[in-house]
Chain A
Amino acid sequence: MATGHDDHHHGPAKGFTRWLYTTNHKDIGSMYLWFSFAMFLLGGSFALVIRAELFQPGLQFVDPNFFNQMTTMHGLVMVFGAVMPAFVGLANWMVPLMIGAPDMALPRMNNWSFWILPFAFAMMSSTLFMDGGGPNFGWTFYAPLSTTFAPKSVTFFIFAVHMMGASSIMGSINIIATIQNLRAPGMTYMKMPLFVWTWLITAYLLIAVMPVLAGVVTMMLFDIHFGTSFFSAAGGGDPVLFQHVFWFFGHPEVYIMILPAFGVVSEIIPTFSRKRLFGYDSMVYATSSIAFLSFIVWAHHMFTTGMPLAGELFFMYSTMLIAVPTGVKVFNWITTMFKGSISFETPMLFSIAFVVLFTMGGFTGLMLAIAPADFQYQDTYFVVAHFHYVLVPGAVFSIMAAAYYWLPKWTGNMYDESLGKLHFWLSFVGINVLFFPQHFLGLAGMPRRVPDYALQFANFNMISSIGAFLFGFSQLLFLFIVIKTVKGGKKATTQVWEGAEGLEWTVPSPAPYHTFSTPPPIK
């Protein structure tokens, strides 16, 4: 163990300025995670407004314009505020611990990446109270809805996106530099834990596409305020151009939200199966292939918006190709569990649910990838069901799995296992009641982003809303469990989990404020 002379650095500073001025990767990781959870509740409450309105046909609680603001803000807050910062928080906490590094490569910039976020989200949320309301054009902010017909608060939305982009780019540069440069001597790339591998690739994707997002919102800004015509055909531009540039960012973004989840699950399943991960090398190659493919599939989001036939075919086949590396991963996870001596602690339950439900989301994705079929599905609840299946029991479940898995290492206490299991089952049932009926709604033709609907959709919408409230309020139990674990509980050992392997399990629980000031030996 390499914690012998960590005490030359003093511990955390006293008072709240510890959090404002910190350079410690563990502090910053915790702040990211708490921020992300706050955004999860905020975005979740927007979702509950949507589901309350859709509980019955007709207009009940909100007017359609506010409903649109809710769908928009729900998407933006969940993508940029909840899921992405949660994974960055996990990376901050775990990457240095997993590779035997003393901290992140650039600690002060690390804190800047975090502190930009609360300001950016304060600015974006404040648009809801502005004259004309907040963004109401969907989280994909298609032009001309977001340019010619946008509320004037769109300017602040644009700048908020710029800020989040700056934060993400700085955060990713930091993660990638840490992984490239701070691995303990002897830890070659092919010995890195998969969570580190997936984050290396995710950081690369982020640095590649966040600037493109900055580019597209900049073009919007110029169209709105400086009279350019990028997205206006009257001046020779094209609204479809917006979609191309946006989705060139947007599709890799989808993998940015799922690759770290793959990493988390690839850590947890071997631990509770008490077996090494099956097919480590193929996992690495599959992740890289997915990242590569993510750059050449973007227009499958645009099959109905006007593209030459050759384009439709190219994007259809390249999209279907993604099923191959993804299938490799799913089979590897299953094979890891095969003949393992499995125990079902909460992180494992979330991970197994991840494998099953994410695969379902993947299959509906394949259905959507078939261009002629997509003409039917486009903009229906089937799409909503698809991406929520990959994002909620996909990304969000993996984040929860990670939280339960590493909480004992972070806090030094074991969480309450029965409460954890209760939380899992409530979430599992809630999520399926919430999203499964939406497949049927979509196939029957219910469009997304509508505050009202035809009577034949009433039953499934009601079921879906019940699931939403069940899932939503179950998350308060998660908050309770986490706080309870922080406050106390059964002391965790250094190893925490019987079958766990990796450097993070060689430091005491809770992990000391500074770890690996000198690199540990690698076997």
Chain B
Amino acid sequence: MATPDKHTTPAGYEPYYVPDQSKFPFIASIGLSLMVFGLGNALNDIKANQGATVSAWMAFVGFFILGCVLFNWFATQIRENHQGLPSAQLKRSYVLGMYWFIFSEVMFFCAFFGALYYVRNFSVQWLAGVGEKGIAHLLWQDFQGTWPVIHNPDPKIFVDPEQSMAWRGFSEAASYLPLWNTMLLLSSSVTVHIAHTALKNNNRKQLTLWLGLTVLLGLTFLVLQAKEYSEAYHELGLTLNSGIYGSTFFLLTGFHGFHVTLGAFMLSVMWFRVLKGHFKPEDHFGFEAASWYWHFVDVVWVGLFCFVYLL
């Protein structure tokens, strides 16, 4: 490892730490490729009704390699920080990196929200004979363009669900899982903020408590979402194969759930780091980045709750 030069010209310039060679990126690329290649093979095997054991193992090994590399990569990063290698300027680079990463995630969700907007306002309307391209109605003349789409244009290919996940009115609000989930996530945004304030005030006990609570709220959200999915599949007949409503519903909420999983994982890592005595009141970007991510996931949920469930 290169020893940072403490020459400071011009006056006060802290050298920017440029790490020496690292094996992480190359090995991570191998892991990533094995993972997706295995996954691709497994999907194709399953579609062709063949056993996917070998492919699944390949994907798993790739995932394992990638996971190990990332674990060590972050560990190195933390160690370097404890050694005081990063200057204030380098720390700003991490902040910018996280900021732009979250922006890219926002755009990822924009693609799915955009798709939802388009099908609701254009394609379903046109298929039902409404609007300028309503001639599409000639394809399936029984199709009614109501949203949520319960009766698909061609139910032989895309099986009609019995019921959608849409808001069922205040009388059933208490048993409406998405409402509970909204409250869970919103309060978890508050708890993570309290934890952050505690960290800034160097109140470690409060920090451990409120951060732990945030993780628990996140996990509860995931449990409820699993229950919701199970109800959708078993009681409402709403599946991925239920036509456009099921498609948009599961893709949007599913990718959100995946991000909640990731965010809860990040926060739990931060929780263990807190137990190990990491983070200082003035230097805790790892924690802050995870909390930003958590707020982002929360905001996406608010969008989902409005556009997928309520409206």
Write the B123-138 contact mask toward A (1 if CB under 8 angstroms, else 0). Answer: 1101100011100100
Which of B26-34, B167-175, B274-282, B293-301 faces chain A? B26-34
Say whether A245 contacts B21, CB under 8 Å.
no
Is B64 positioned at the interface, with any CB of A under 8 Å from its CB? Answer: no
Most buried by B among A159, A240, A307: A159
Please choose the segment from B36-44, B209-217, B264-272 that sits at the chain A interface, where 4 or more of its residues have CB less than 8 A away.
B36-44
Mask, A155-192, CB within 8 Å of B = 1, is 11011001100100100111011101110010000000
Contact of A119 among B16, B30, B48, B140 (CB under 8 A): B30
* A226 interfacial contact with B, CB 8 Å: yes
Q: Is B179 in the interface zone, CB < 8 Å from A?
A: no
What's the minimum C-beta distance from A432 to chain B, rounded to whole angstroms? Answer: 39
Tell me the complex Cα distance, A23–B131, Å: 56
Query: Is A309 among interface residues, defined by CB-CB distance under 8 A?
Result: yes
Give which listed residue, B26, B122, B140, contacts A21 with CB less than 8 A. Answer: B26
Supposing A108-B25, A123-B36, A230-B115 touch, asked if A519 and B18 sit within 8 A by C-beta, the answer is no
Q: Tell me the residues in window 1-59 of chain B with beta carbons closer than 8 Å to chain A beta carbons.
A: 2-3, 5, 7-10, 13, 15-16, 18-26, 28-30, 32-33, 36-37, 39-40, 43-44, 46-48
B4–chain A nearest beta-carbon distance, Å:
9
- Indicate if the CB atoms of B24 and A112 lie closer than 8 Å: yes
Give the contacting residue for A514; candidates B18, B124, B157, B246; CB below 8 A. B18
> What's the count of A-B pairs with C-beta under 8 Å?
251
Residues of B within 8 A of A307 (CB): 133
**A523 contacts chain B at the CB level, 8 A cutoff:** no
Given contacts A116-B32, A229-B247, contact A212 B107 (CB under 8 A): yes
List residues of B (118-174) whose CB comes within 8 Å of A's CBs. Answer: 118-119, 122-124, 126-127, 131-133, 136, 139-140, 149, 152-154, 157-158
Contact with A along B232-244 (1 / 0, CB 8 A): 0000000111111
B110 CB to closest chain A CB (Å) equals 7
Is residue B84 within 8 Å, beta carbon to beta carbon, of the partner chain?
no
Query: Cβ of A230 and Cβ of B244 under 8 Å apart?
Result: yes
List B contacts of A107 (CB < 8 A).
Answer: 18-19
Q: Which residues of B contact A103 (CB under 8 A)?
A: 16, 18
Please classify the interface of chain A as helix (H, G, I), strand (E, B), loop, or mixed, using the class held by over half of its residues: helix
B226 interface hit (Cβ, 8 Å): no
Q: Looking at chain B, what size class is its interface with the partner chain?
A: 35 or more
Q: Would you call B26 and A163 a contact (CB within 8 A)?
A: no
B97-105, B180-188, B283-291, B302-310: which lies at the interface = B97-105
CB distance from B290 to the nearest CB of A (A): 17
A156 cross-chain contacts in B, Cβ below 8 A: 37, 40
Contacts of A229 in B (CB 8 A): 152, 157-158, 243-244, 247
Chain A's nearest CB lies how many Å from the CB of B260?
18
Q: Which of B88-96, B190-198, B200-208 forms contacts with chain A?
A: B88-96
Report the minimum CB–CB distance from B71 to chain A (whole Å): 15
Known: A212-B107, A228-B241. A236 touches B119 (CB 8 A): yes
B104's contact among A112, A169, A519, by CB below 8 Å, is which? A169
Q: A106-B93, A155-B44, A222-B240 known; A208 and B107 CB under 8 Å?
A: yes
B21→A234 contact, CB < 8 A: no
| A162 CA to B39 CA, complexed, in Å | 13
Contact B16 A102 (CB under 8 A): yes
| Highest count of chain A CB atoms <10 Å: which of B29, B132, B245 | B29
Q: Does A232 have its Cβ within 8 Å of any Cβ on chain B?
A: yes
Determine if B89 and A248 form an interchain contact, defined as CB atoms under 8 angstroms apart: no
Cβ–Cβ contact A152 & B25, under 8 A: no
A214-241 contact mask (Cβ, 8 Å, vs B): 1 or 0: 1110110110111111101111111011
Partner of A227, one of B8, B26, B241: B241
What 8 A-B pairs come out closest when comparing CB atoms?
A215-B111, A236-B244, A238-B123, A235-B158, A112-B25, A228-B247, A235-B243, A227-B241
Query: Which residues in B have some Cβ–Cβ distance to A below 8 Å?
Result: 2-3, 5, 7-10, 13, 15-16, 18-26, 28-30, 32-33, 36-37, 39-40, 43-44, 46-48, 73, 89-90, 92-94, 96-97, 100-101, 103-105, 107-108, 110-112, 114-115, 118-119, 122-124, 126-127, 131-133, 136, 139-140, 149, 152-154, 157-158, 239-248, 250-251
14 pairs of residues in contact across A and B, judged by CB atoms under 8 Å: A8-B3, A20-B23, A112-B29, A115-B26, A152-B48, A173-B104, A181-B89, A185-B10, A222-B251, A235-B157, A235-B247, A236-B153, A237-B119, A241-B123
